[in-house]
Chain A
Amino acid sequence: MKPQELWNILHAAGFTRQEAMPAISPRAPWYLEAILFLALWTGAALIVLAFVALAQDSAAANLFFGLLLAGLACWLFRARPGHFFLGQLAHAASLCGVGLIVLALFEEVRGTEAQLRFLLALAFLVFCAMNNFVQRLVAASAALLVIALLCQSYWKDSFLWLEWLEWLYAGCAFAFVLVWQMEMKTLRYPRHQLWRSVGYALALFLLVAMNVSFSLWAWTGSGGIPDVPPEPPRILLALRVLSGAALFWFTAWLLHRENVPFSSRPALMLLGVTLCVVLAGMEMPFVAVALLILVTGFAANAPVLLGIGVIMLLNACAQYYYWLEVNLLRKSVYLLLTGGVFLACRLVLLKTFSHAAVKEGEHE
């Protein structure tokens, strides 16, 4: 639906305060912004490399120019939000500026943990200062990566290399639910975009971490790390339980938001289906999180999230083939049974909804 059509519908229903639709700044296609952003990254990286090549100890100069450029970007984003050309210029300035600040940071601050903490603080500052969705998305993603590295450095003496990632992953699943709840509840523009940028960053992190954890598991399982047992114990158990709990919580919240009483038949049915999915996730890691992202994508009308959820679901299925906790025969029987349960759930759900629809018709 075009903006004018939407305005006409709202105007006819009496929601508008004026006759004419407010002017809307035209938007560039996403692929144009992506191409330019990539090219600007390259240019910014080259400028930062120039300062790396500078053989003198110029951390102060790097910091000065970095802050200058970052400040310019911040001003441009706030002064003319939505302006295409100035927006691209601001992106270039921000990338260069932040790159130079990071360079100065690594020259002056010693020790991995201290550097990571400064990076986290910098990511937080960029998130708050830059009034731009892409900048915030990149800052939030960088912050999550730094948090993961900090957790890994904290747990580095543990022989269970996956332990830190498992708890972090489960924590991110809960954070994901919370953030998207806030996004859907926020009715102030552009405050909802703050939550959305964090929400997307969490979704991307969950997708990447899923593959990282699998790779780590495969590496430890093949004896790639000394003093690590060749067959790790039941791994990711906390992740499976907690991510299932996150999915359950989100389903209950959605029912509450849609004003569906918990004691009603559709609500009990939906919660029952969610429980089936959670139990399925106890055998197949990451299924509950994949479905959480998928359902959230639909609820928030966010096609990108839907896409991430689908990718994660297929990824989880492919990884399940290689998990060596149980043999292929048991996995195949489990999947066939699960498929049958889902079909039965679908049948019951259709009957429940048609029953509810008939009842609604009677009331009307």
Chain B
Amino acid sequence: MNLHRDLLLLWAEQGALDPARLPEALRLAGAFPAADDWRRFADRLLLALAVLALSSGVIFFFAYNWEYLGHFSRFALAEGALILALFGVWRLGLERLSGKASLFAAALSLGALLALIGQTYQTGADPWELFAVWCALILPWAVLGRLPLLWLFWLALFNVALYLYLSYFNWQTFFFVNLCALALWEDAGRRFAEFRRGFAPRLVALAAAFFVTYGAVVYGVWGGSESVAFQKSDNALLIWAMWAAGCWYFYRYRARDFFMLALVAASFLPLATSALFRLLSESSWRHDEFTVFLLIGILVVGITLAVGLGLWHVHKRMAAEEQEKITENAA
């Protein structure tokens, strides 16, 4: 949203700004792009369009000719892409963003090469081995590159390899894996600037929250189903409670990240809804659908509003604490 523009229009409406000079004020505030901004945009847009068209053209060309290519030609292509990306890393260096982008491209190209090897040499290997080997091979690059996006990709590959290895979905395993990943990420954030805050740890936290919420709802509230009864967990709700309490304490008082607190609330809401459903479906009202749905609906709305209000107060409190800290530091 164009917040500067909204603010200026609001101030003009309130009489704090001279409406006759509003267009000038909007230009001064940078509410709309200036001539230099347009030049940069046109330059980058045309470059991006050219890169997209050229790279798509190359991909389409090879896709057209793929079945006519021999094994050696295909390997030459896949390895050529990898070598080109690694050359880019060497030439540009890992300090620059373009070098890191080349490293990411190299990681992707390695996967394509491994898939080609698996396709060409049908050894009967299991699918999880492809992802596991891919993970192992790009791990040193992820360590050296210190690129959050590459680490996210690595974690996603690890999860896929694990899922394929287990051949079934075990929520506790995935929850603990991603929770450990989050803990390591927060620790890395204290040492390296690249891992401090940003969207990447939030995505990892989102994954952990998803798995623990799934476990709490399916197994904690509903006790699991017959098809997955062997995965029954009596501790699902306890695990959820410990995660929620730990997450709240750490991100409220130590790391101070409001998004994570909102995540805990987002996890609580479906859990509360499921619990209400379970409670009312076993009560004496269970045959009265109107009462059940109406009660649950009203309670869900009420709980949501209460949670929202609570979070809003916490948000304001955290913002005030932040402001106090800035003022103290300035003094």
Is A1 an interface position by the 8 A CB rule?
Answer: yes
Q: A89–B312 Cα gap in the complex (Å)?
A: 14
Q: How far is the CB of A299 from chain B (nearest CB, A)?
A: 7
Residues of chain B contacted by A302 (CB below 8 angstroms): 1-2
Which chain A residue has the least Cβ–Cβ distance from B32? A301
Residues of chain B contacted by A340 (CB below 8 angstroms): 50, 54
Q: A187–B51 Cα gap in the complex (Å)?
A: 38
Residues of chain A contacted by B265 (CB below 8 angstroms): 35
Asked if residues A189 and B16 are in contact (CB atoms below 8 Å), the reply is no
Q: A26–B311 Cα gap in the complex (Å)?
A: 13
Q: A275–B214 Cα gap in the complex (Å)?
A: 52
Asked if residues B304 and A40 are in contact (CB atoms below 8 Å), the reply is yes
Tell me the A75-124 residues at the B interface (CB within 8 Å). 84-85, 88-89, 92, 96
Which chain A residue has the least Cβ–Cβ distance from B55? A339
Instruction: Count chain B CB atoms within 10 A of each CB in A3, A298, A350 and give the residue with the most.
Output: A298
The verdict on A333 contacting B57 (CB below 8 Å), with A6-B7, A50-B297 known, is: yes
Asked if residues A329 and B56 are in contact (CB atoms below 8 Å), the reply is no
Is B49 an interface position by the 8 A CB rule?
Answer: yes
Asked if residues B305 and A88 are in contact (CB atoms below 8 Å), the reply is yes
Residues of chain B contacted by A331 (CB below 8 angstroms): 57, 60
Is A363 an interface position by the 8 A CB rule?
Answer: no
Stretch of B35-43, B220-228, B244-252 lying at the A interface: B35-43
Asked if residues B33 and A298 are in contact (CB atoms below 8 Å), the reply is yes
Q: How large is the interface on A (under 10, 10 to 19, 20 to 34, 35 or more residues)?
A: 35 or more
Tell me the A288-306 residues at the B interface (CB within 8 Å). 294-295, 298-304
Instruction: Count chain A CB atoms within 10 A of each CB in B23, B38, B63 and give the residue with the most.
Output: B38
Q: A270–B41 Cα gap in the complex (Å)?
A: 12
What is the total number of residues of chain B having a CB less than 8 Å from a CB of chain A? 80
Residues of chain A contacted by B41 (CB below 8 angstroms): 298
Asked if residues A343 and B50 are in contact (CB atoms below 8 Å), the reply is yes
Asked if residues B46 and A187 are in contact (CB atoms below 8 Å), the reply is no
Asked if residues A39 and B53 are in contact (CB atoms below 8 Å), the reply is no
Is A188 an interface position by the 8 A CB rule?
Answer: yes
Is B324 an interface position by the 8 A CB rule?
Answer: no
Asked if residues B43 and A29 are in contact (CB atoms below 8 Å), the reply is no
The verdict on A345 contacting B259 (CB below 8 Å), with A22-B16, A53-B293, A302-B2 known, is: no
Q: How far is the CB of B260 from chain A (nearest CB, A)?
A: 11
Residues of chain A contacted by B52 (CB below 8 angstroms): 313-314, 317, 339
Asked if residues A339 and B53 are in contact (CB atoms below 8 Å), the reply is yes
Residues of chain B contacted by A10 (CB below 8 angstroms): 8, 17, 25, 28-29
Is B64 an interface position by the 8 A CB rule?
Answer: yes
Q: How far is the CB of A37 from chain B (nearest CB, A)?
A: 9
Checking A187, A345, A353 against B39 with a beta-carbon cut-off of 8 angstroms, the contacting residue is A353
Is B144 an interface position by the 8 A CB rule?
Answer: no
Q: A132–B305 Cα gap in the complex (Å)?
A: 18
Is A211 an interface position by the 8 A CB rule?
Answer: no
Residues of chain B contacted by A21 (CB below 8 angstroms): 16
Is A150 an interface position by the 8 A CB rule?
Answer: no
Tell me the A1-49 residues at the B interface (CB within 8 Å). 1, 3, 6, 9-10, 13, 15-18, 21-22, 24, 26, 28-29, 31-32, 35-36, 39-40, 42-49
Checking B60, B262, B315 against A332 with a beta-carbon cut-off of 8 angstroms, the contacting residue is B60
Q: List 7 A-B contacts (CB under 8 A).
A: A22-B11, A29-B258, A49-B297, A51-B290, A85-B309, A328-B61, A335-B60
Given contacts A6-B29, A84-B308, 17 further A-B contacts (CB under 8 A): A6-B4, A31-B262, A32-B262, A32-B312, A36-B307, A46-B296, A47-B301, A50-B294, A192-B5, A192-B9, A298-B33, A302-B2, A320-B56, A328-B60, A339-B51, A339-B54, A342-B49
Tell me the B residues contacting A by CB distance below 8 Å: 1-2, 4-19, 21-25, 28-29, 31-33, 35, 38-39, 41-43, 45-47, 49-54, 56-61, 63-64, 258-259, 262, 265-266, 269, 273, 289-294, 296-301, 304-305, 307-309, 311-312, 315-316, 319
